[in-house]
């Protein structure tokens, strides 16, 4: 009896103490930006759609079921880029870092879906999958305060030459500097990260073969793309196999 | 047993095909040697080294860790087959676990081998030589070449090389103490005197020594077939009992393993029912086992024990078996030898009687003067007799040694008298030279006196001085006068009565009494040319003048009474077991305090009340002196009754075989028994005892082999220091274990919360191993240097059944209180690290599956930033490091609170044990090296850590300290209360 009471009091005290110290610790944090960002100094690359099986696309261009999931993922992903959702976003000056340090309310820059051209889903609602020219969107991870230098652009290569022709939207895979820096979820609520669409025009005699694609971020000295350990830092590799 | 002792010489020659004059032929001897083997004792069968080594590999926690390793390899195999991304982690983990087992096993094996090696030096003896007649020639042979039928010659000082039937003897005496325990030398002749070959005088036994005289005999038994050999093989058959500490450690291992397995299985079931994959559940199981098992602890215990063993070796207790260190501390009964252990093993003059008065002499080991009144002219006369009527001499060339340490040629009593005279008068040899000896009759057993006639050193006194000493009653018979204050007075009945009283009193003290008398021969009857003839005795041997008595005893070592009283206050019963006469035994027992001044035996009570012994209420007698003869006829029950009812017991006239019976009797009472012994025949008792203690100087090799411990100085007081060390190490091991167990909870909780709340893993398995085998090792050894909290020699010996090394309170306090506090502190650090990098605690709950998904490289934190898998892993390792650092910091507090169990740290002193500080600095140093030095080695999962995270857990460390001080305060304030019962470990 007494022993149970003792432990009740003892653990009650410890729980209170834990809660209190956690509360104190949380008080020292800002709700806008994390205290330290040294663990993510350089952004990773990611693609959409992201297949469940480790970054490998398998589909039959004549079987709409085989790519339906990719298409719906893309559509869902692009929903937030719809013009109707971007009514509050402003048109920023291209080619320049959009510094808003002094401004209390941070504005988000408009990203026009039309920039994605054939991969915007407006002309082809299967994003090219039905034509054998599948689109993959490449995005750069959001990192608060990151200001890329130079002219960052996405460039993809295929190891197997001649199997695939790669087109970029916007042209040359450029990422505009005006989308940086990012000010964080709470300050920068409507922020949209810039996208680069990669359209893979698969050679008709290369069907049934697995094509390995690697995309890298180039043209910016402060964005790493060759880390030994982190295979997704400024680069991403995926495979595509299309049948007819 | 043979009847060689009954055979005549001729029959023996025939039986063994030998000749007394020519001996065996070399060829024949070689044949027999080939048949019987060498004349040496077969050493006890040693366990093969590889078996010892393998035992270390599977003992203790090793099995659990092997299971962990095998599971790791299994999951590695499965993951490899499934083509997972990083299956090698589990392979490495398995290898690391196996390495941990193998390395700790090698370490334990090495420690054990080291302590065995100390003993190996003992068994290396200088090969013994024997003088043998072979091929009709005398030859020196190595004793192990002897065969049955060899004719050997022995002389005083030799060790008997085999069992020998004597065929010729001249004044031969043997010391059979190693066989029978009787220290009195026994005469040996060629005559068949007893049916029992062990009692008859014409057989000398292997390994006994010839004290004086010479003899020739036929070898009748060699090697293991000798009487000693048979006893030695009996000893090896007496089973070895498990030591108390081994039992305690086993108990502790079961407890911890039980906790590990039950928590492991419980969470295996929980994780399976929470729909974790079986493979994941197995990996959790490994983590839980690794977190629960204190990998470094058994090595720490071994080191602590060997540190104590080293300390004890400095105090003359050489420990053969490491675990025996603690056994001594739990000892509740010590069965001690008398001669050499409790006593100095040399006759010393204890009392004098002259001028109708008894004087006491100083019997301490390092006497340089004698304090008694030496002004009386009677003493001058007595001292002259003592000096002159003595054949003992110092070996030359020892002038620089203290008198008591000089080697003397002569028997024990004469040696005592010589040293006594040398201490008081100085340069006895010179006095003898000045008082030239003209005639002498040595002591013999028929006339029981010794006599010599001297010229005097006074040039004006031309008389001869006749001096005589011997058995007091025989000396008195020859006297007509007695010297009182330098004057000769007639010996009337009153004075004879006074002599009788003194003689009885000294004899009653167990002392050997000698009488001294003299006579100045009238100058006219005995001119300086008088031809003294000792055969016809042409001089007076009666009507002499009685001068005084001297009594001698083998006195107790001066440190022994104090040691015995220490034992008494420590609740240890000291039982004397000796081959000596009961009166001597009782006298020594009284003088060292084994029988205290106020207690009485049944016989004493009977004498005091003047009633027959049978009418005495046996319960009233606290002391008992039991004769070996009585013991022989006693039933086990009667023996138990004696051991139970009397607190002060002396066994006299016991044979070493009876020692075994006594030891077993004590063990039946539930006691932990320590036994001292030196003879070969003691070895069964030494082996049977919980801790056998052999004498380093007087001990035989067989005794040293059977014993767990060797007293290098043969001194009983060394046992007591050993007891103190043993008790201290038990207390300190408790502290070490409490210290080590505490952080197991802080290592375990992360796994449990990881499974239940699905947060990112707070601490890695490898990191845990770095705590258990890295930062924690030196501090836990440092606790072995902790001083005792209170006088441990005022406590009763621990109760084997109740006072466990690891009791419920210890486990509960470490696991459920301090351990939980540590976990809370470590989790606060963990959450702080994640929150300050962008993952608030609320974000972390339930993220495990996505967090660990290799395909998700845009994992969003609480601030909208996105993380790749590797960035998350790196953060996770930072979390490991932070958790590790917090545990380390709080273990510093844990180390400090474990210094004491009852007293405040401030009573104990923070800085008295310097090694603790070495431990603290090593702990922090290792943590610094791991985080900042090895922070870039990916496989170790450490990362450089922001400096402030070292201090997050500091308030919790302080809290642990304060809480424990409060706990101790309440324990001291309210002894026996609910708090005391539940919180004192």
In chain B, the domains with their CATH numbers are 9-18+129-237 (2.70.150.10), 317-343+557-714 (3.40.50.1000), 348-553 (3.40.1110.10), 725-790+805-946 (1.20.1110.10)
CA distance B92 to chain A (A): 18
Distance CA B54, CA B745 (A): 30
Q: Using pLDDT thresholds of 50, 70 and 90, give the confidence band for residue B117.
A: low
CB–CB contact B870 A232 (8 Å): yes
What is the number of helices (H) and of strands (E) in chain A? 2, 8
Higher per-residue confidence, A51 vs B674: B674
Residue B291 CB partners (closer than 8 Å, separation 6+): B744, B747, B748, B750, B751, B765, B768
Interface of B with A in 768-827 (CB under 8 A): 816-817, 820-821, 824, 827
Distance CA A85, CA A74 (A): 16
CA distance B810 to chain A (A): 15
Shortest CA distance to A80 belongs to which of A49, A117, A110, A107? A110
Question: In sequence order, what E strands does chain A have?
Answer: 45-48, 56-60, 135-140, 153-158, 164-169, 195-202, 210-218, 235-243
Work out how many CB contacts closer than 8 A connect A with B: 115
Quote the tokens at residue B710.
């060797």
pLDDT at residue A53, rounded to an integer:
67
CA A136 from centre of chain: 11
Instruction: Please tell me the total number of residues recorded for chain A in this structure.
Output: 244
pLDDT at residue B124, rounded to an integer:
47
DSSP-derived secondary structure for B445-496: TTT-EEEEEEE-S-TT---EEEEEEE-HHHHHHTEEEEEETTEEEE--HHHH
CB–CB contact A11 B820 (8 Å): yes
Q: Using pLDDT thresholds of 50, 70 and 90, give the confidence band for residue B535.
A: confident
pLDDT at residue A10, rounded to an integer:
95
Shortest CA distance to B884 belongs to which of B928, B923, B826? B826
Distance CA B109, CA B115 (A): 10
| Closest partner CB to A17 (pick from B824, B874, B946) | B824
Place of tokens 């207790």: B317
B976 and chain A in contact, CB less than 8 A: no
pLDDT at residue B236, rounded to an integer:
64
| Closest partner CB to B841 (pick from A22, A185, A227) | A22
Q: Using pLDDT thresholds of 50, 70 and 90, give the confidence band for residue B513.
A: very high
Assess whether pLDDT exceeds 90 at residue B551: yes
pLDDT at residue B867, rounded to an integer:
94
Indicate whether A91 and A18 sit together in one domain: no
Q: Which of A103-112, B184-193, B428-437, B449-458 comes out lowest in average pLDDT?
A: B184-193
pLDDT at residue B115, rounded to an integer:
64
pLDDT at residue B675, rounded to an integer:
92
pLDDT at residue B306, rounded to an integer:
85
Higher per-residue confidence, B279 vs B827: B827
CB–CB contact A35 B837 (8 Å): yes
Quote the tokens at residue B579.
């081959």
CB burial of B910-933 (b: ≥16 within 10 Å; e: otherwise) equals eeebebbeebbebbbebbeebbee
- With CA atoms as reference, the chain A residue closest to B813 would be A7
pLDDT at residue A103, rounded to an integer:
85
CA distance B820 to chain A (A): 9
On whether the CB atoms of residues B107 and B305 are closer than 8 A, the answer is no
Tell me the mean pLDDT in the region B736-765. Answer: 92
Higher per-residue confidence, B338 vs B479: B479
Tell me the mean pLDDT in the region B873-882. Answer: 94
CB–CB contact B863 A45 (8 Å): no
Q: Using pLDDT thresholds of 50, 70 and 90, give the confidence band for residue B125.
A: very low
Indicate whether A113 and A135 sit together in one domain: yes
pLDDT at residue B234, rounded to an integer:
67
pLDDT digits (tens, 9 = 90+) for B804-839: 888 889 999 999 999 999 999 999 999 999 999 999
Which residues in chain B are contacts of A143 at CB distance < 8 A? 865-866
DSSP-derived secondary structure for B368-415: -S--S---SHHHHHHHHHHHHS---EEPSS-TTS-GGGS-EES-HHHH
pLDDT at residue B213, rounded to an integer:
81
Its ipTM equals 0.94
Rounded to the nearest integer, the mean pLDDT of chain B is 87
Assess whether pLDDT exceeds 70 at residue B86: no
Tell me the mean pLDDT in the region B618-629. Answer: 86
On whether the CB atoms of residues B161 and B55 are closer than 8 A, the answer is no
Assess whether pLDDT exceeds 60 at residue B378: yes
pLDDT at residue B289, rounded to an integer:
85
On whether the CB atoms of residues A179 and A97 are closer than 8 A, the answer is no
Taking CA atoms, B122 is separated from B117, B328, B682, B694, B709, in Å, by 9, 22, 18, 12, 12
- With CA atoms as reference, the chain A residue closest to B854 would be A54
On whether the CB atoms of residues A204 and A143 are closer than 8 A, the answer is no
CB–CB contact B864 A185 (8 Å): yes
Q: Using pLDDT thresholds of 50, 70 and 90, give the confidence band for residue B620.
A: confident
Indicate whether A114 and A14 sit together in one domain: no
Rounded to the nearest integer, the mean pLDDT of chain A is 89
Which residues in chain B are contacts of A182 at CB distance < 8 A? 864-865
pLDDT at residue B818, rounded to an integer:
96
pLDDT at residue B76, rounded to an integer:
87
pLDDT digits (tens, 9 = 90+) for B131-161: 898 888 888 888 888 899 899 988 877 788 8
Shortest CA distance to A170 belongs to which of A111, A126, A116, A206? A116
Q: pTM value?
A: 0.82
Distance CA A171, CA A152 (A): 12
Q: Using pLDDT thresholds of 50, 70 and 90, give the confidence band for residue A71.
A: very high
- With CA atoms as reference, the chain B residue closest to A3 would be B982
Strands B163-175 and B209-221: antiparallel
Interface of B with A in 394-433 (CB under 8 A): none
Indicate whether A61 and A124 sit together in one domain: yes
Name the CA radius of gyration of chain A, rounded: 23
pLDDT at residue A18, rounded to an integer:
96
Test mutation, A39, A182, A215, chain B, max B CBs within 10 A: A39
Taking CA atoms, B916 is separated from B736, B807, B958, B985, in Å, by 12, 24, 17, 21
Distance CA B314, CA A134 (A): 85
Task: Measure the N-to-C terminal CA separation of chain B; round to a whole number of Å.
Answer: 57
Indicate whether A42 and A137 sit together in one domain: yes
Angle in degrees, 0-180, between the axes of helices B819-837 and A2-27, rounded to the nearest 10: 20
B83 and chain A in contact, CB less than 8 A: no
Place of tokens 């402030």: B948
pLDDT at residue B120, rounded to an integer:
53
pLDDT at residue A156, rounded to an integer:
93
- With CA atoms as reference, the chain B residue closest to A141 would be B866
pLDDT at residue B359, rounded to an integer:
92
Burial of A32 (0-12, 13-18, 19+ CB in 10 A): middle
B357 and chain A in contact, CB less than 8 A: no
Burial of B842 (0-12, 13-18, 19+ CB in 10 A): exposed
Tell me the mean pLDDT in the region B2-19. Answer: 84
Longest Cα separation, chain A: 81
Tell me the mean pLDDT in the region B796-800. Answer: 87
Shortest CA distance to B729 belongs to which of B241, B105, B104, B248? B248
On whether the CB atoms of residues B5 and B165 are closer than 8 A, the answer is yes
Which residues in chain A are contacts of B869 at CB distance < 8 A? 230, 232
Tell me the mean pLDDT in the region B65-86. Answer: 83
Test mutation, A7, A18, A28, A108, chain B, max B CBs within 10 A: A18
pLDDT at residue A209, rounded to an integer:
83
| Closest partner CB to A142 (pick from B821, B854, B864) | B864
Assess whether pLDDT exceeds 50 at residue B122: no
Characterise B292 by phi-psi region: left (phi > 0), alpha (psi -120 to 50), beta (else): alpha
Higher per-residue confidence, B65 vs B960: B960
- Most confident among B47-56, B240-249, B914-923 (mean pLDDT): B914-923
On whether the CB atoms of residues B387 and B425 are closer than 8 A, the answer is yes
Long-range own/partner contacts, residues B120-123 (CB < 8 A, 24 or more apart): B122/B701, B122/B704, B122/B705, B122/B710, B123/B43, B123/B701, B123/B704, B123/B705
Assess whether pLDDT exceeds 90 at residue B738: yes
Tell me the mean pLDDT in the region B432-454. Answer: 86
- The count of structural domains within chain A is 2
pLDDT at residue B240, rounded to an integer:
63
CA dihedral A77, A80, A84, A85 (to 10 degrees): 170
Indicate whether A25 and A54 sit together in one domain: no
Place of tokens 């031309």: B462
CB–CB contact B878 A39 (8 Å): yes
Q: Which of B36-45, B150-159, B317-326, B574-583 comes out lowest in average pLDDT?
A: B36-45
Indicate whether A25 and A124 sit together in one domain: no
| Closest partner CB to B824 (pick from A14, A144, A186) | A14
Residue span of the structural domain in which A183 resides: 37-242
Indicate whether A158 and A201 sit together in one domain: yes
Strands B333-336 and B573-577: parallel
**Whether residue B337 lies in the annotated active site:** yes
Quote the tokens at residue A67.
């790519």
CA distance A205 to chain B (A): 30
Which residues in chain A are contacts of B860 at CB distance < 8 A? 142
Indicate whether A124 and A204 sit together in one domain: yes
Tell me the mean pLDDT in the region B633-651. Answer: 90
Test mutation, A143, A188, A224, A227, chain B, max B CBs within 10 A: A143
On whether the CB atoms of residues B837 and B877 are closer than 8 A, the answer is no
Shortest CA distance to B414 belongs to which of B375, B457, B385? B385
Assess whether pLDDT exceeds 90 at residue B292: no
CB–CB contact B863 A232 (8 Å): no
On whether the CB atoms of residues B201 and B191 are closer than 8 A, the answer is yes
B565 and chain A in contact, CB less than 8 A: no
DSSP-derived secondary structure for B757-793: H-PPPSS-HHHHHHIIIIITHHHHHHGGGPPPSS-GG
pLDDT at residue A13, rounded to an integer:
96
CATH code of A154's domain: 2.60.40.1660
pLDDT digits (tens, 9 = 90+) for B594-617: 999 888 888 888 888 888 888 888
Indicate whether A115 and A149 sit together in one domain: yes
| Closest partner CB to A34 (pick from B863, B868, B869) | B863
| Closest partner CB to A39 (pick from B832, B860, B874) | B874
pLDDT digits (tens, 9 = 90+) for B16-54: 888 888 888 888 999 999 998 888 877 666 677 888 888
What is the number of helices (H) and of strands (E) in chain B? 36, 28
Tell me the mean pLDDT in the region B742-758. Answer: 92
Indicate whether A61 and A3 sit together in one domain: no
B278 and chain A in contact, CB less than 8 A: no
CA distance B775 to chain A (A): 26
Shortest CA distance to B736 belongs to which of B782, B775, B770? B782
Higher per-residue confidence, B209 vs A6: A6
- With CA atoms as reference, the chain B residue closest to A191 would be B864
Assess whether pLDDT exceeds 90 at residue B446: no
Indicate whether A101 and A7 sit together in one domain: no
User: Is the peptide bond prior to A49 cis by the omega test (within 30 degrees of 0)?
Assistant: yes
- Most confident among B231-245, B286-300, B713-727, B919-933 (mean pLDDT): B919-933
Q: State the catalytic residue, choosing from B4, B150, B175, B337.
A: B337
Instruction: Please tell me the total number of residues recorded for chain B in this structure.
Output: 985
CB–CB contact A18 B862 (8 Å): no
Assess whether pLDDT exceeds 60 at residue B220: yes
CB–CB contact A21 B878 (8 Å): no
B850 and chain A in contact, CB less than 8 A: no
Q: Using pLDDT thresholds of 50, 70 and 90, give the confidence band for residue B85.
A: low
pLDDT at residue A16, rounded to an integer:
97
Higher per-residue confidence, B142 vs B705: B142
């Amino acid at each position: 009896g007494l022993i149970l009471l003792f432990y009740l009091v003892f653990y009650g005290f410890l729980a209170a103490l834990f809660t209190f110290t956690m509360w104190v610790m949380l008080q020292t944090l800002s709700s806008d930006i994390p205290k330290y960002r040294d663990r993510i100094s350089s952004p990773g690359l990611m693609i959409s759609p992201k297949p469940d099986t480790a970054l490998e696309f398998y589909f039959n261009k004549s079987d709409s079921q085989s790519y339906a999931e990719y298409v719906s993922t893309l559509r869902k992903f692009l929903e937030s880029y719809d013009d109707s959702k971007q009514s509050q976003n402003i048109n920023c000056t291209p080619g320049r870092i959009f510094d808003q340090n002094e401004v209390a309310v941070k504005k988000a820059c408009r990203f026009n879906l039309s920039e994605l051209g054939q991969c915007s889903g407006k002309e082809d609602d299967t994003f090219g999958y039905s034509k054998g020219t599948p689109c993959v969107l490449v995005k750069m991870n959001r990192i608060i305060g990151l200001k890329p230098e130079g002219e960052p652009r996405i460039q993809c290569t295929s190891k197997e030459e001649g199997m695939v022709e790669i087109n970029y939207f916007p042209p040359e895979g450029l990422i505009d500097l005006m989308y940086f820096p990012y000010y964080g979820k709470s300050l920068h609520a409507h922020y949209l990260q810039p996208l680069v669409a990669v359209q893979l025009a698969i050679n008709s005699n290369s069907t049934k073969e697995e094509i390995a694609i690697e995309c890298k971020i180039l043209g910016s000295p402060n964005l790493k793309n060759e880390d030994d350990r982190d295979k997704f830092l400024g680069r991403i590799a995926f495979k595509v196999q299309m049948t007819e | 047993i043979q009847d060689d002792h009954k055979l005549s010489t001729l029959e023996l020659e025939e039986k063994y095909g030998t000749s007394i004059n020519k001996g065996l032929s070399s060829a024949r001897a070689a044949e027999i040697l080939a048949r019987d083997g060498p004349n040496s004792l077969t050493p006890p069968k040693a366990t093969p080294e590889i078996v010892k080594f393998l035992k270390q590999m599977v003992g203790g926690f090793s099995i659990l860790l092997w299971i962990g390793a095998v599971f790791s390899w299994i999951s590695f195999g499965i993951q490899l087959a499934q083509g997972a991304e990083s299956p090698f982690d589990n392979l490495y983990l398995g290898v690391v676990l196996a390495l941990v087992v193998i390395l700790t096993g090698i370490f334990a094996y090495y420690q054990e081998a080291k302590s065995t090696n100390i003993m190996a030096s003992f068994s290396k003896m200088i090969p013994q030589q024997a003088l043998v007649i072979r091929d009709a020639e005398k030859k020196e042979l190595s004793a192990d070449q002897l065969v049955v039928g060899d004719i050997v010659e022995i002389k005083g000082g030799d060790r008997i090389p085999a069992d020998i039937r004597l065929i010729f003897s001249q004044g031969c005496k043997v010391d059979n103490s190693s066989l029978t325990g009787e220290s009195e030398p026994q005469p040996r002749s060629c005559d068949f005197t007893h049916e029992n070959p062990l009692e008859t005088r014409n057989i000398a036994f292997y390994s006994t020594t010839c004290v004086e005289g010479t003899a020739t005999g036929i070898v009748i038994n060699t090697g293991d077939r000798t009487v000693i050999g048979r006893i030695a093989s009996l000893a090896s058959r007496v089973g070895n009992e498990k030591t108390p500490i081994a039992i305690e450690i086993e108990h502790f291992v079961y407890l911890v393993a039980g906790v590990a397995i039950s928590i492991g299985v419980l969470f295996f079931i929980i994780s399976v029912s929470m729909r974790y994959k079986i493979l994941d559940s197995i990996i959790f199981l490994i983590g839980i086992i690794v977190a629960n098992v204190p990998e470094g602890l058994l090595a720490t215990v071994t080191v602590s024990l060997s540190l104590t063993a080293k300390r004890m070796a400095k105090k003359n207790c050489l420990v053969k078996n490491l675990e025996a260190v603690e056994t001594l501390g739990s000892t509740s009964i010590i069965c001690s030898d008398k001669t050499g252990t409790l006593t100095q093993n040399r006759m010393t003059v204890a009392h004098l009687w002259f001028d109708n008065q008894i004087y006491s002499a100083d019997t301490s080991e390092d006497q340089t003067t004698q304090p008694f009144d030496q002004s009386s002219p009677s003493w001058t006369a007595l001292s002259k007799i003592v000096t002159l009527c003595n054949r003992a001499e110092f070996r030359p060339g020892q002038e620089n040694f203290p008198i008591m340490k000089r080697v003397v040629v002569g028997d024990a009593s004469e040696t005592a008298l010589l040293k006594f005279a040398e201490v008081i008068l100085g340069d006895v040899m010179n006095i003898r030279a000045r008082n030239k000896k003209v005639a002498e009759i040595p002591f013999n057993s028929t006339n029981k006196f010794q006599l010599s006639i001297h010229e005097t050193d006074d040039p004006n006194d031309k008389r001869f001085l006749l001096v005589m000493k011997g058995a007091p009653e025989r000396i008195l018979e020859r006297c007509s006068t007695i010297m009182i204050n330098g004057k000769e007075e007639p010996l009337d009945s009153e004075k004879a009565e006074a002599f009788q009283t003194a003689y009885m009193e000294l004899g009653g003290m167990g002392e050997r009494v000698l009488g001294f008398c003299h006579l100045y021969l009238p100058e006219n009857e005995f001119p300086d040319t008088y031809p003294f003839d000792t055969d016809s005795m042409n001089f007076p041997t009666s009507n002499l003048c009685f001068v005084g008595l001297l009594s001698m005893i083998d006195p107790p070592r001066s440190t022994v009474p104090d040691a015995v009283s220490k034992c008494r206050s420590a609740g240890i019963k000291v039982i004397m077991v000796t081959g000596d006469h009961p009166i001597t035994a009782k006298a020594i027992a009284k003088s060292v305090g084994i029988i205290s001044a106020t207690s009485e035996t049944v016989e004493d009570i009977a004498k005091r009340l003047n009633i027959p012994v049978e009418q005495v209420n046996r319960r009233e007698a606290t002391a008992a002196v039991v004769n070996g003869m009585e013991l022989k006829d006693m039933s086990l029950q009667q023996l138990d009754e004696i051991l139970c009812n009397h607190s002060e017991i002396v066994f006299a006239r016991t044979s070493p075989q009876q020692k075994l019976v006594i030891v077993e009797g004590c063990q039946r009472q539930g006691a932990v028994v320590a036994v001292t012994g030196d003879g070969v025949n003691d070895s069964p008792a030494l082996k049977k005892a919980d801790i056998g203690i052999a004498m380093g100087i007087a001990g035989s090799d067989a005794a040293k082999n059977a014993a767990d411990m060797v007293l290098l100085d043969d001194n009983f007081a060394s046992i007591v220091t050993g007891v103190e060390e043993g008790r201290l190490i038990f207390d300190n091991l408790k502290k070490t274990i409490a210290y080590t167990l505490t952080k197991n909870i802080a290592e375990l909780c992360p796994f449990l919360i990881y499974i239940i709340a699905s947060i990112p893993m707070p601490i890695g398995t490898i990191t845990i191993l770095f705590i258990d085998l890295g930062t924690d090792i030196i501090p836990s050894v440092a606790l072995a240097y902790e001083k005792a909290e209170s006088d441990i020699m005022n406590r009763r010996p621990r109760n084997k059944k109740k006072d466990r090394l690891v009791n419920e309170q210890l486990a509960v306090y470490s696991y459920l209180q301090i351990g939980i506090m540590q976990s809370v502190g470590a989790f606060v650090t963990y959450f702080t690290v994640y929150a300050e990098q962008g993952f608030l605690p609320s974000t972390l709950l339930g993220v495990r599956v996505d967090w660990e998904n290799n395909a998700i490289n845009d994992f969003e934190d609480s601030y909208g930033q996105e993380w790749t898998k590797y960035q998350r892993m790196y953060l996770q390792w930072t979390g490991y490091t932070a958790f590790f650092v917090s545990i380390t910091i709080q273990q510093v507090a844990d180390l400090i609170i474990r210094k004491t169990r009852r007293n405040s740290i401030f009573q104990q002193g923070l800085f008295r044990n310097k090694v603790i500080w070495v431990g603290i600095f090593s702990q922090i140093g290792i943590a610094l090296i791991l985080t900042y030095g090895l922070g870039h080695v990916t496989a170790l999962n450490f990362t450089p850590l922001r400096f402030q995270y070292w201090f997050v857990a500091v308030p919790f460390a302080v809290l642990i300290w304060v809480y424990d001080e409060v706990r101790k305060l309440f324990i001291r304030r309210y002894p026996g209360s609910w708090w005391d019962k539940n919180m004192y470990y």
